[in-house]
């Protein structure tokens, strides 16, 4: 039973082909720089020895339609998918589902229209996601298509958590509320934490930290998300690679008055030139860590600010959850940066969170428990797999 997962961006299409009988990856890759100089296809597929063999093809790729045709072609050529009819379905990542989509949806004309109507809430992402769905439907018209929304996992937030203190008429007219993102990642690692702990997800209270170039926190009570750090857009919340996270909104008006910058220019600064990059000039946490280790004071400040913001969210979510069973680190930084996990947990022994330094620094790939013997709360590092979660949700949606 094969499922193809597609993540269509403005100039790229990422894909993974799964055999859902054992959840193995048969092939994966991406079409990059669509419509630009240097466009190429990067493809990896499983070999008989269970390794992945990589192929790169540099060629002009004018649009997403040609990109999807290249993906279909190389899957066919390499024998991993000789006919689209072998697919149980195609799962698509869609960034914003608004208030309408609380779970994955089989793609219909009505669903496409709803995704299109949500473009004002995600102007950089939903158009590309929508284009990917439309191209896939044209290219594989007999294959069921499923839209899986980044925001859906957070639709269980209560009104007191998702509403902003602005006039109700603005909320109603423009759908201004907290939506949250990274939902597929938070959902996946929460389920994996339950498996790791050998307990039903519905019995657990968890704080999940998805830390990558984008970063967000989620408070999960008995399997349901009750709060999350990202808001109307992915700009709110934690400090990120290039995003500022939480900010006094009056700063925007102040910058407009004092600098003459337009709102669009300020939006670009807050999304693309702030965060770690704005503090120390680098947005890759590996580089920031190296600079800090060499004594760079701005890099050291960036790490301190990054961890401090996370610790404040841990404390806030602990307060609303009540008893806490586990703190989860995931994402590229959460899984691999031991100094960030250490900084986030430092000084939290009074909350029952104590990291075992040897376990933390010795962690390699794979999930692990990192808490000390005296810790009352489990501290877990769990690799995320958003593509597999999309594949699983695709199957669940089609089998309903």
Q: Is the pLDDT confidence value at 365 over 80? A: no
Q: Hey, is 146 helix, strand or coil?
A: strand
Q: Could you give all domains of the chain from N- to C-terminal order, each with its CATH number? A: 2-149 (3.30.420.40), 199-386 (3.30.420.40)
- Does residue 389 sit in helix, strand or coil? helix
Tokens 């990274």 appear where? Answer: 182
Are the beta carbons of 353 and 379 closer than 8 angstroms? yes
Q: What is the pLDDT of residue 285?
A: 97
Mean pLDDT (the chain) is 95
Q: Is 150 a catalytic residue?
A: yes
For the stretch 66-109, pLDDT in tens is: 999 999 999 999 999 998 899 999 999 999 999 999 999 999 99
- Count other C-beta atoms under 10 Å from residue 300's C-beta: 16
Exactly one of 19, 63, 83, 150 is catalytic; name it.
150
Q: What percent of the chain has pLDDT over 90?
A: 90
Strand partners, 27: 17, 45
For residue 363, pLDDT over 90 is answered with no
Give every CB contact of residue 313 below 8 A, 6+ residues apart in sequence. 207, 217, 229, 237, 238
Is the model's pLDDT at 33 over the cut of 70? yes
pTM for the model: 0.94
Residue 329: predicted pLDDT: 98
- Reference 242, options 218, 267, 262; nearest CA is 267
Return the pLDDT at 125. 87
Greater confidence (124 vs 236) lies with 236
DSSP class per residue in 34-76: TTSTT-EEEEEEE-TTS-EEEEEEE----SHHHHHHHHHHHHH
Q: Which two tokens stand for residue 42?
A: 């990067």
pLDDT of 229 over the 90 cut? yes
For 333-356, the pLDDT digits (tens) are: 999 999 999 999 999 999 999 999
pLDDT in tens, 148-198: 999 999 999 999 999 999 999 999 999 999 999 999 999 999 999 999 999
Q: Which of 52-66, 164-178, 191-205, 242-256 has the lowest mean pLDDT?
A: 52-66
- Which residues, in sequence order, are CB contacts of 372 under 8 Å at separation 6+? 354, 355, 356
pLDDT exceeds 70 at position 50: no
pLDDT at 364: 77
Percent of the chain with pLDDT over 70: 100
Give residue-wise pLDDT tens across range 5-19.
Answer: 999 988 889 999 999
Average pLDDT over residues 40-52: 85
pLDDT at 136 over 70: yes
Burial (Cβ within 10 Å: 0-12, 13-18, ≥19) of residue 342: middle
Q: Is the pLDDT of residue 51 over 80?
A: no
* CA dist., res. 308 & res. 314, Å (int): 10
Residues facing residue 327 across a β-bridge: 207, 379
Burial 160-198 (b: 16+ CB within 10 A, else e): ebbeeeeeeeeeeeeebbbbbbbbbbbbbbbebbbebbe
């Amino acid at each position: 039973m094969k499922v193809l997962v597609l993540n269509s961006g403005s100039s790229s299409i990422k894909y993974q082909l799964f055999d859902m009988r054992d959840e193995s990856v048969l092939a994966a890759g991406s079409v990059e720089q669509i419509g630009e100089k240097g466009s190429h296809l990067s493809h990896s597929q499983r070999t008989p020895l269970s390794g992945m063999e990589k192929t790169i093809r540099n060629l002009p790729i004018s649009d997403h339609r040609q990109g999807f045709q290249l993906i279909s072609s190389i899957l066919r050529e390499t024998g991993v998918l000789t006919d689209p009819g072998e697919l149980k379905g195609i799962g698509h990542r869609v960034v914003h589902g608004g208030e309408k989509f609380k779970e994955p949806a089989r793609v219909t004309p009505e669903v496409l229209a709803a995704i299109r109507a949500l473009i004002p809430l995600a102007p950089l992402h939903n158009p590309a996601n929508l284009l990917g769905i439309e191209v896939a439907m044209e290219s594989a018209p007999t294959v069921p298509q499923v839209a899986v929304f980044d925001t859906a996992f957070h639709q269980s937030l209560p009104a007191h958590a998702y509403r902003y203190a602005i006039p109700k008429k603005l909320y109603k007219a423009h759908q201004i509320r907290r939506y949250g993102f990274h939902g597929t990642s938070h959902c996946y690692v929460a389920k994996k934490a339950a498996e790791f702990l050998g307990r039903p997800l519905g019995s657990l209270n968890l704080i999940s930290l998805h830390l990558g170039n984008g970063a967000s926190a989620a408070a999960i009570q008995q399997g349901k998300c009750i709060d999350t750090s990202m808001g109307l857009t992915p700009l709110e919340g934690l400090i990120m690679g290039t995003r500022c996270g939480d900010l006094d909104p009056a700063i925007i008006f102040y910058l407009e008055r004092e600098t003459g910058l337009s709102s669009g220019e300020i939006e670009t600064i807050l999304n693309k030139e702030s965060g770690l990059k704005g503090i120390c000039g680098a947005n890759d946490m590996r580089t920031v860590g190296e600079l800090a280790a060499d004594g760079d004071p701005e890099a050291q400040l960036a790490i301190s600010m990054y961890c401090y913001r996370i610790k404040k969210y841990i404390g806030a979510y602990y307060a609303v959850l009540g008893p806490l069973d586990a703190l989860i680190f995931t994402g590229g930084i959460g899984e691999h940066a031991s100094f960030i996990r250490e900084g986030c947990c430092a000084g939290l022994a009074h909350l029952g969170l104590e990291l075992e330094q040897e376990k933390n620094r010795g962690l390699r790939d794979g999930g692990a428990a990192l808490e000390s013997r005296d810790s009352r709360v489990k501290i877990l590092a769990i690799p995320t797999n958003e593509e597999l979660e999309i594949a699983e949700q695709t199957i669940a949606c089609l089998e309903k």
